[in-house]
Amino acid sequence: MLKLRIILLYDYLYISIVLLVLTFALISTNLIIRHSSYTGIEKELIGYIKRINFDGDKLTIHIHDRETVIGTYYFKQKKEKEIFASTYKLGDYIKLKGMMLKPKNNTIFNQFNYRQYLYNRKIFYLFQIESIIKIKDNNNWFYYLKQKIIDYIESITHTQNYIKTFIIGDISDIDDQTLTSYQLIGITHLFSISGMQISFLATILLFILQKLKVTETKRYLIVMIVLFFYMFLTNCASPVMRATIFFFLLSINKIYYFNIKSINLFYLTLSIVLLFNPYLIYDIGFQFSFIISYYLILYQPLINKYQSSIMKLFIISIISFMASLPIVIYHFYQINILSIFLNIFFVPLVTIILFPLALITLLLPFLDKLLLLLINMMEYIAVKMSNIEVGTIILSKPHMLLVGTYYLVISYCLYSMNRDKNYNVIYLVILISIHYYSSYFNNYASLTIIDVGQGDSILLRLPYNKGNILIDTGGRLIFPSEDWQKRKRSYSIANDSLIPYFKSLGIRQIDYLIITHGHVDHVGESINLINNFKINAVILNKVGHTSLETQLIDCLNKNKIKYRFCGNKDILNIKGYRLYFLNPNIDRKDPNENSLVIYTIINNKGILLTGDISSKIETNIINEYNFKPLYILKIAHHGSITSTSEIFLDKLKPQYALISVGLNNKFNHPSDIVLKRLTKRKIKTYLTSIEGSIYFKFYNNQVTIKTCPP
């Protein structure tokens, strides 16, 4: 035992273990390819329910047999949904009939990759459900108890959404606007179960058991059993797993007087978690939890320098902010400096008041309204603070080399602060400044056809940040629905695709938003974009406007954004780069025919963007203008047979044809005839439905082409 104690005191033992495990995790997850137990052609699945989620008329089930598969079903009637909710519970064995589907990769650069996300969780298939049959009721005590806890939480009238968040880590019921405000001010981490909640729960249990005269060893054993159950209750969320295993190791260390340093116990915790699941290394929750905890443990002496609780909290907030900064930039492309100060208010509010009160409300439901009052206050402050733009810094997605540089500089800054050399934080400020202004050093132009489904959205970026021009926004028809059918969070092309993509490139404003015409698949997301991103100016066509364009003009007037109307032979000059508007049509009846047609030249390469014009307008254009052979032609009207005539192609002789089109769209775009015309002329053709977003980088005489296939 003595030899074991001596060995366990060696610091290098733990450093060696964690380095070996990290190496193993990186190598194994990149070299060993996981395979599904299914073939992908199954029409029927039998297994037990691991998770159930209702979102409007959409049902999502995690079913497990040989492996986990995620099934989706859409209720036809409200009664059908109610019957299902009362009949099917966690752990029930069910039979699904339907079709296997492979998850898709992201089709816009730098966006969330759902397929990779599921792969890291050993989920290879989705299942499109046609029918569900229960085979037998749950006979697993764990799922029975978990279902009872969920049912009890959902019976609480006003605050069930936050109690569910604080107790089992499920944020799906929190209002979308509120969640966004939490993210913008940098306090989202407070709404995932963390070490603070685990420590609080463990402390309360230890206190109660001590008062009941339970011996120390038994106290810790009981608490560990409760925490391990709690860990599985929260689906082994990374922060809960870290805190639980760390408490387990702390308990053993305390009971047997090993005197192992906290930092070494942390290394051991990290190693155990990664040996349990190496793929957690790619999980955002894991990254936040372990990296922030590591820096807080490592720089505990810096925190302990201060006697004041407020100062301690302020230093903890600074360390947490700095430790998480590269991860936040890498995943979300922006930071909020104000979060350092806001956490001083929100951390105590959530961890000292709301979380304990949520636990008490479970036992005393009459406190529900008091909890609601405090939650409403928190939400109100968060929404108000999120509207303050001061402190928010948009930064492009960093390369892993830059992430490493950030951590080297952050470590040096914290090391200096621990030695009262606070002025060395200037090095982090310099690094952020270089990152912030890096787009001003980009000496190339780029053109991206952004995959927005059945619609158009094209981003043109000029060198040295001279201009960012967005041509159309995409958009979808929204059909009326009953209250029970409405989703908790509706997908928005602007908020969920365009804006995150702009931020990932370090774009902080769109200098010109050009709307080619007034159909929803071109203008539909313009108001969402204007309300959530900085737009300097808007250009519309001169001819008769649709109701959507009229709404857009009203929005521009309300927000005091300048706009102008362009048409045939107008020129937009942006610091030496010119966009020529060509469409000579004056037909006020068909918005497609009125589409702005834009011609520009980048590095001596001609580019023509044609909106949704027909072959009639194409003929007018080639009769009026004398074109040199094009480099890029954006095919009109998503490849419809109404456009892209043979005469037009023969006159323009493009090297590349780009078609922005949705997969399996109801219009059957693009037309086979159009595709044959392009193939016959050996024009290299890209479809967003197949290739995802299409990126052209123009540097000197070279052009780099990248795609983002689903």
The pLDDT tens digits for 201-210 are: 888 888 888 8
What are the pLDDT digits (tens) for 210-227?
Answer: 888 888 888 888 988 888
* Beta pairing, strands 468-471 & 512-514: parallel
Token couple for 614: 């027909």
What are the pLDDT digits (tens) for 580-632?
Answer: 999 876 666 788 998 999 999 999 999 999 999 999 999 999 999 988 999 99
The two most distant CA atoms of the chain are separated, in Å, by 96
Query: Does the model's pTM come out above 0.85?
Result: yes
Q: Calculate what percentage of the chain has a pLDDT beyond 90.
A: 67
| Arithmetic mean of pLDDT, 393-410 | 97
3-state secondary structure of 506: coil
Amino acid identity for residue 364 in this structure: L
What are the pLDDT digits (tens) for 274-297?
Answer: 999 999 999 998 998 899 999 999
Q: Calculate what percentage of the chain has a pLDDT beyond 70.
A: 98
pLDDT at res. 386 = 85
What are the pLDDT digits (tens) for 458-494?
Answer: 999 999 999 999 999 999 888 788 888 888 877 899 9
| Arithmetic mean of pLDDT, 631-652 | 96
Distance (Å, whole) CA 48 – CA 61: 10
Q: How far is CA 462 from the centre of its chain?
A: 27
pLDDT at res. 1 = 59
| Arithmetic mean of pLDDT, 376-397 | 89
| Arithmetic mean of pLDDT, 567-588 | 86
The 10 Å Cβ neighbour count of residue 351 is 17
Q: Return the closest-CA partner of residue 67 out of 128, 119, 138, 123.
A: 123
Q: How far is CA 316 from the centre of its chain?
A: 26
Q: Return the closest-CA partner of residue 535 out of 486, 448, 625, 470.
A: 470
| Arithmetic mean of pLDDT, 646-652 | 95
Say if residue 189's pLDDT is above 90: no
Distance (Å, whole) CA 417 – CA 413: 6
What are the pLDDT digits (tens) for 232-280?
Answer: 888 888 888 888 898 899 888 888 878 889 999 999 999 999 999 999 9
∠ CA 239-245-251 to the nearest 5 degrees? 130
What are the pLDDT digits (tens) for 96-130?
Answer: 999 999 999 999 999 999 999 999 999 999 999 99
pLDDT at res. 131 = 94
Distance (Å, whole) CA 10 – CA 5: 9
* Beta pairing, strands 445-449 & 468-471: unpaired
Amino acid identity for residue 447 in this structure: L
Q: How far is CA 171 from the centre of its chain?
A: 14
Distance (Å, whole) CA 83 – CA 76: 12
pLDDT at res. 587 = 64
pLDDT at res. 182 = 84
Distance (Å, whole) CA 423 – CA 416: 8
pLDDT at res. 103 = 96
Phi and psi, residue 60, nearest 5°: -120, 125
Q: What sign has the CA pseudo-torsion 688, 691, 695, 701? A: negative
Distance (Å, whole) CA 682 – CA 109: 27
Distance (Å, whole) CA 591 – CA 572: 22
Say if residue 176's pLDDT is above 70: yes
Question: Which pLDDT band holds residue 505 (cuts at 50, 70, 90)?
Answer: very high
Q: For 562-576, b where at least 16 C-beta lie within 10 A, e where not — what string? A: ebeebbbebebebee
Of 83-87, 473-477, 695-699, highest mean pLDDT: 695-699
Say if residue 2's pLDDT is above 70: no
End-to-end, the C-alpha distance of the chain in Å comes to: 57
Say if residue 347's pLDDT is above 80: yes
3-state secondary structure of 456: coil
> What domains lie within the chain, and their CATH numbers?
2-28+160-397 (no CATH), 44-139 (2.40.50.140), 441-478+489-707 (3.60.15.10)
Distance (Å, whole) CA 710 – CA 707: 10
DSSP readout, 12-23?
Answer: HHHHHHHHHHHH
For the chain, helix, strand, coil in percent to 5 are 50, 15, 35
Question: Which pLDDT band holds residue 28 (cuts at 50, 70, 90)?
Answer: very high
DSSP readout, 570-626?
Answer: -EEEETTEEEEE------SS-TTTT---EEEEETTEEEEE-TT--HHHHHHHHHH--
DSSP readout, 670-696?
Answer: SPHHHHHHHHHTT-EEEEHHHH-SEEE
Chain length of the chain: 710
What's the chain's average pLDDT? 91
Question: Which pLDDT band holds residue 399 (cuts at 50, 70, 90)?
Answer: very high
pLDDT at res. 632 = 98
| Arithmetic mean of pLDDT, 345-355 | 87
Instruction: Quote the radius of gyration of the chain (alpha carbons, Å).
Output: 29
Say if residue 30's pLDDT is above 90: yes
